[in-house]
Amino acid sequence: MSETTWTEVVPVTSKSRVQLPISARARLNWGSLTEPLALLAKLEPGNSAKLEPWDPAGVDVMRGLESLLASEGDADRAELALIAMDRYLRVSLDPDGRILLPANLAHHIDAIGHDAVRVIVRGGDLQLWSEIAWQASRSSRLRAFGDRLLGLESSR
């Protein structure tokens, strides 16, 4: 399989924690830690979130957001601030690979009331997905690429 791609279903603990598997962390150029690492979690459409190191990603987003908010009128500034608070979150990855999911992130990826989420590493990017949303989109992924797999299977 690909050295830069990984997916796995991981359990969500009763305290809304997920443990990134060693196999996933090994595919991230920032996955080997000796101290906690702050991450920017960007809530994405489709019940997923992209996580990347706070420095530089979170720092850049906060700088850009400050500039954007400073240029807006009061009504738009308040609305943009709310949208940003709903989209951008700071989380921490501890050296053992654990992430505590804030409530809004946990809700977004359907971790509340369910016992698992999907971890995806693709091209050095880390994503957390709702396992429900991931399974619901499985058919469309198979339609798009399944013929290649069937060709592989039939050539045996």
Q: Match 């920032």 to its residue by tokens.
A: 30
pLDDT at 1: 57
Residue of 23, 36, 6 lying closest to 125 (CA atoms): 6
Residue 144: C-alpha distances to residues 23, 44, 138, 140 (Å): 26, 22, 10, 6
pTM of the model: 0.89
Average pLDDT of span 62-77: 95
> For 8-59, what is each residue's pLDDT tens digit?
999 999 999 999 999 999 999 987 889 999 999 999 999 999 999 999 999 9
Task: Retrieve residue 7's tokens.
Answer: 């997916």
How far, in Å, CA of 119 to CA of 97, rounded?
12
Sheet holding 48-53, edge to edge: 5-11, 116-122, 125-130, 48-53, 37-44, 88-93, 98-100, 17-19
